[in-house]
Structures are given as structure tokens and as C-alpha cells.
């Protein structure tokens, strides 16, 4: 059971699932930065939304943190680099609020085109100002979409239904993908010159902060209207206010601001600027999805499993074909640690056969996770495994070869004169050890194993079985491994419990027994 600290409002169903899994959910809303530093020690997971600032100081205080989970998309309130350095996984819920954000963008777009909030406010104040708030149609207007990711694509599809012409700026989108969406790709300055409306759908990064400043706005088409339901700071608010005040920009609709929460901005003084307090994800559906997704990610992270939405793991996605091998790679890393200890100056992870046709980076990380977790005795994750390798002074090399060797797919970990190989065997894809050192074996992966090198003489199997039986250590499985010459000079034994150290010593004293290693 782990303690999970929740500092912002998360939908109850997600939190209930964490409690049902046996974890302690500690909800402390509205913490100041100082209070957060005091509250985070002892927490294995920290769940936040957009208001909590997860700084290096917070991460340093949270020495037990396995992960930080953001119930939403943006991560500009999390020091991801500091989290990675400290081995803390950072996870978001990238698909939870895409539809809500896209719909809010369309609401802002329509409100901006027809001056809905201004006319509503005037009428409530007793003024019938029908002529003052004359609007424009969306049909036949050009919408420039800056950022054609999930949300940008949804907005483009909906704008098309209004008869708008679509152009976009996104250096990561191919021309073929744009063609499928019926969108023309342009450079950013060209987009601003061609568009009647512009909508932003970018993450806030050092490259995007201040992207639309005074110089760029000056190059835009006169009468442009701008919508931002993405992230504050991408538009320089004072520069936008100046452009609106001068009439060069006809209006703007913003849901996000450089500093949040805020009740002050030069834009708030302008009648033809519409503002909302970061409502893009504020729907019941989005809140429920975000809570459910982040609960799933927390459960996976605390169990040491693959977390698909981890943003600071070298390979945050894993192909379906590769996924079943993650557990095997982890177990082989653990077994290899039992063989070689921390004495290997380097570790080589060889991934052969069909799996090598896919992205195998996470398999290599999984093998490191098992290996370094066993030799250090400390929590090792997909995030901190490479850092622990560096700290231990052990070079890790991953090699892929598409040629199948004995099995359709095989993982081999070697170094320090030792090696272990594994594969998934049969229709049920059972994880098996298929090689130890230069010997061929065939035995199921076990939590407790003995690897015994011996002379190929009669009686060695009986001796090992007798010693274990006398000590009441139950043998689950045993396999004799053959070396390239065909001699059976290695035994691998799985047992239902760990073999006591004194029993291992008795085995080592047997005639013809060259070495005994207990794993698990």
C-alpha cells in the first residue's frame, strides 16, 4: 500500500479506484508552496492539475516519489528535467480533454465572430446595442491552425463543417497527413498573412513562449482575430493588447494566460477581447476521463509496470508485438544480476528476431530495471535506470538483430563472462530461460532459481535433489543445460522458496560441483 497525495480536485471515480487497490489517498487541496514541501515526504505518487507547481524543491522533499501524475495535458507547472534527474516519472493524460478543448475553441471562435459576450453584457445592463455588435460569418473565412496535433485536428474538422478554408503551421506534420485533413501547410508568417482567424494548439515550451509578439503580429493580416485555448505565454499579452487597441488585430478570445490564476491583464480592458478562466478542460466528461486515466497510470507506475503516458521515459510508447516481452526482459535482468552481481564492467542487451523489427528501447530499459533493481536493492524505474547505470559505472549497450536464432524472438543479456537468454514459448507465450552462459536450457522463469555448474559425471542430479530434499526445499522444475559439445554440465533448478545460504554452501562442497548461484 502506498500513500498518494492529491493536491487538486480530481473526479471521485478515479480516486475510488486507487483506494480499492489498497492505496492511501491523501487529499490536501489548496496547499501553498511551503505546505506542499511539508506534505509531499512519504508520498509515492503526487496527483495534480494545472495550479500546483512541482518544482525541484518539491521533488527533493518527495524523496519517496515514484511518479507525478498530471490529470490533464500541459506540464509547464512541472519541472520535468528535475524529475527525470531524480528518477521520478512524470505522467499526463494526453487524450482526456482533447474533445472538450476543441469544443471550447469552437465556442470561443463563434463568440468572437459574433460578439456574443459583449452583446449579452450590454443587454443585461439595460442597453439594446444591436448595431454596435455587428459580427462576421465563419463561412469562406480562412482559419489558421497553429499546431495540428490531436486538438488542432479536431478543431480543423469542426471548422470545415462551418465552410471555413483551412491552413496550418506544424513542422512535425507531413504533407500527406495535411492533405488527408484537407489542410494547406504554411510557414508561420505566411499563415498569419493569409488567415482571417487564427487558433493556437501548442504546448508551452522555451521555443513557443512569446511566439506571437509585436513583430510577428505586425506582419499579420489586418483584421485578424486570434483564439488561444492552448497555453498562456505563447502570445505576449501586452503586444496583443497593443495590436487590438490599434485596430490591426480585430479581436481575440483567450482562455489561458501567462500567469494563472489571474484577474489582471492589459487585455481585460478591451471590449473586443473575450476571456474565460482556463475552461478548456472544464467539462464533466473531461474531468472524469482525466481522473480515470491518471488513476490507471498511478496504479501501473506503483506496480512497476509499463506506463504508456510517461513523458520522461526514453520510449514512452511500446508496440503491441513488443509489450508481452517487457516482463521477460525485467526477469532476465534480475536473473543476470544473480549470475554476475555488480562485477560486469558492461552489460549487453541483445534483442533478436521479430521483436527487433520494432522499437525495442523500452525492452532494453526493462532489462536494466530488473538488473539494477537486483544489484542495488533500491527502486528502479524506466526513468532512472539509465542514471543508475551511470552512477554504477556500468556501460549498457543494446543491440538489435532481425535474424531469428532458435526462437522467433529472443532476448540475451551478457557481460562479465556470463549470459542469460529468454524467450516466450508456445501458444500461451510462456516466459522461459532458454540459455545460461554457453548452455542451452529450457525452463520456466521462477522467482527462486539455482544455477549450478558441474562436471558431467553420474550422480550430480541425485546429489542436488538429495541436498534440497533434506533441507525441505521443494523443487518446482529442473533442467540440464548442454554446452556446445553436448555435455550436460549445468543444472538450472527452480524452487518454491528461497534456498537458505547454508544449503547453498553444502551444494558447493559436493564432488564435481564447480559453482552454485542462488537467484531470488
3-95+285-302 against 313-437: fold identical: no
Cβ 228 vs Cβ 260: under 8 Å: no
Distance of CA 194 to the CA centre of its chain: 37
The three cell numbers of residue 93 are 493524460
Cβ 396 vs Cβ 349: under 8 Å: yes
The CATH H-level (homologous superfamily) assignment of domain 3-95+285-302 is: NAD(P)-binding Rossmann-like Domain (3.40.50.720)
Catalytic residue among 57, 129, 184, 260: 260
264 is catalytic: no
Q: End-to-end CA distance of the chain, in Å?
A: 22
DSSP H/E element including 511: none
Task: Please give the pLDDT value at position 352.
Answer: 93
| Prior bond of 261 cis (ω within 30°) | yes
Query: pTM for the complete prediction?
Result: 0.64
Task: Please give the pLDDT value at position 488.
Answer: 67
* Strand order across the 395-401 sheet: 395-401, 346-353, 409-415, 418-425, 430-436, 439-444
Phi, psi of 346 (to 5 degrees): -150, 155
Architecture of domain 446-520: 2-Layer Sandwich (3.30)
* Strand order across the 475-481 sheet: 475-481, 490-495, 449-454, 513-519
Task: Please give the pLDDT value at position 317.
Answer: 62
Phi, psi of 251 (to 5 degrees): 175, 170
Q: Which of 206, 207, 225 is nearest to 217 (CA)?
A: 225
CB atoms within 10 A of CB 133: 18
Q: How far apart are CA 492 and CA 443, in angstroms?
A: 8
| Domain ranges across the chain | 3-95+285-302, 98-275, 313-437, 446-520
CATH topology for 313-437 is 60s Ribosomal Protein L30; Chain: A; (3.30.1330)
Catalytic residue among 278, 334, 361, 410: 278
Cβ 383 vs Cβ 87: under 8 Å: yes
Q: How far apart are CA 23 and CA 426, in angstroms?
A: 36
Distance of CA 30 to the CA centre of its chain: 26
Length of the chain in terms of residues written: 520
Over the chain (520 residues), the average pLDDT of each successive run of 10 is 94 93 95 96 94 95 94 88 88 89 97 97 95 95 96 96 97 91 96 98 91 96 97 96 97 95 94 95 89 93 83 71 89 94 88 89 90 85 83 90 87 94 92 93 94 88 92 93 79 94 93 91
Domain 98-275 has CATH 3.40.50.720: yes
278 is catalytic: yes
Catalytic residue among 104, 231, 358, 418: 231
Task: Please give the pLDDT value at position 422.
Answer: 96
Q: At what angle do helices 385-392 and 361-376 cross, to 10 degrees?
A: 50
Angstrom distances, CA of residue 259 to CA of 73, 114, 278: 17, 28, 11
β pairing state of 513-519 and 449-454: antiparallel
260 is catalytic: yes
Task: Please give the pLDDT value at position 316.
Answer: 52
CB-based contacts of 179: which residues, under 8 Å, 6+ apart? none
Cβ 178 vs Cβ 168: under 8 Å: yes
Amino acid at each position: 500500500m502506498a500513500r498518494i497525495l492529491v493536491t487538486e480536485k480530481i473526479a471521485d471515480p478515479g480516486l475510488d479506484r486507487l483506494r480499492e487497490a489498497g492505496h492511501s489517498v491523501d487529499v490536501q487541496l489548496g496547499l501553498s508552496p511551503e505546505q506542499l514541501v511539508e506534505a509531499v515526504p512519504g508520498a509515492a505518487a503526487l496527483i495534480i492539475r494545472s495550479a500546483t507547481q512541482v518544482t525541484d524543491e518539491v521533488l527533493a522533499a518527495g524523496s519517496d516519489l515514484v511518479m507525478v501524475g498530471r490529470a490533464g495535458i500541459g506540464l509547464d507547472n512541472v519541472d520535468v528535467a528535475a524529475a527525470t534527474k531524480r528518477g521520478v516519472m512524470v505522467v499526463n493524460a494526453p487524450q482526456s480533454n482533447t474533445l472538450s478543448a476543441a469544443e471550447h475553441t469552437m465556442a470561443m471562435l463563434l463568440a468572437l465572430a459574433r460578439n456574443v459576450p459583449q452583446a449579452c453584457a450590454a443587454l443585461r445592463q439595460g442597453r439594446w446595442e444591436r448595431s454596435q455588435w455587428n459580427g462576421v460569418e465563419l463561412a469562406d473565412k480562412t482559419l489558421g491552425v497553429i499546431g495540428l496535433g490531436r486538438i488542432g485536428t479536431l478543431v480543423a474538422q469542426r471548422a470545415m463543417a462551418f465552410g471555413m478554408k483551412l491552413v496550418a503551421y506544424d513542422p512535425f506534420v507531413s504533407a500527406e497527413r495535411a492533405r488527408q485533413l484537407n489542410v494547406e501547410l504554411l510557414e508561420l508568417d505566411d499563415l498569419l498573412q493569409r488567415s482571417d482567424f487564427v487558433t493556437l494548439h501548442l504546448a508551452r515550451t522555451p521555443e513557443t513562449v512569446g511566439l506571437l509578439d509585436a513583430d510577428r503580429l505586425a506582419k499579420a493580416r489586418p483584421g485578424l482575430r486570434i483564439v488561444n485555448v492552448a497555453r498562456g505565454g505563447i502570445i505576449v499579452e501586452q503586444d496583443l493588447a497593443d495590436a487590438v487597441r490599434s485596430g490591426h488585430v480585430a479581436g481575440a478570445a483567450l482562455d489561458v494566460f501567462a500567469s494563472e490564476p489571474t484577474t489582471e491583464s492589459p487585455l481585460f480592458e478591451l471590449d473586443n477581447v473575450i476571456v474565460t478562466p482556463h475552461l478548456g478542460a472544464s467539462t464533466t466528461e473531461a474531468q472524469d476521463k482525466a481522473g480515470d486515466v491518471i488513476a490507471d497510470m498511478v496504479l501501473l507506475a506503483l506496480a512497476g509496470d509499463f506506463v504508456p503516458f510517461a513523458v520522461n521515459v526514453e520510449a514512452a510508447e511500446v508496440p503491441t508485438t513488443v509489450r508481452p516481452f517487457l516482463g521477460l526482459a525485467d526477469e532476465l535482468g534480475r536473473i543476470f544480476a544473480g549470475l554476475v552481481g555488480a562485477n560486469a564492467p558492461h552489460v549487453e542487451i541483445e534483442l533478436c528476431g521479430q521483436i527487433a523489427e520494432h522499437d525495442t528501447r523500452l525492452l532494453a530499459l526493462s532489462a536494466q530495471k530488473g538488473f539494477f533493481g537486483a544489484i542495488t536493492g533500491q527502486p528502479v524505474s524506466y526513468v532512472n535506470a539509465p542514471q543508475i547505470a551511470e552512477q554504477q559505472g556500468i556501460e549498457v549497450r543494446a543491440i538489435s538483430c532481425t535474424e531469428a536464432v532458435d526462437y522467433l524472438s529472443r532476448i540475451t543479456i551478457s557481460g562479465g563472462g556470463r549470459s542469460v537468454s529468454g524467450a516466450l514459448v508456445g501458444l500461451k507465450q510462456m516466459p522461459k530461460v532458454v540459455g545460461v552462459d554457453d548452455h542451452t536450457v529450457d525452463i520456466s522463469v521462477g522467482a527462486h532459481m539455482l544455477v549450478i555448474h558441474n562436471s558431467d559425471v553420474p550422480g550430480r542430479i541425485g546429489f542436488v535433489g538429495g541436498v534440497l530434499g533434506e533441507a525441505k526445499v521443494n523443487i518446482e522444475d529442473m533442467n540440464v543445460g548442454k554446452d556446445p559439445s553436448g555435455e550436460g554440465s549445468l543444472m538450472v533448478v527452480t524452487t518454491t522458496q528461497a534456498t537458505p545460504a547454508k544449503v547453498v554452501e553444502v551444494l558447493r562442497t559436493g564432488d564435481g560441483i564447480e559453482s552454485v548461484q542462488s537467484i531470488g
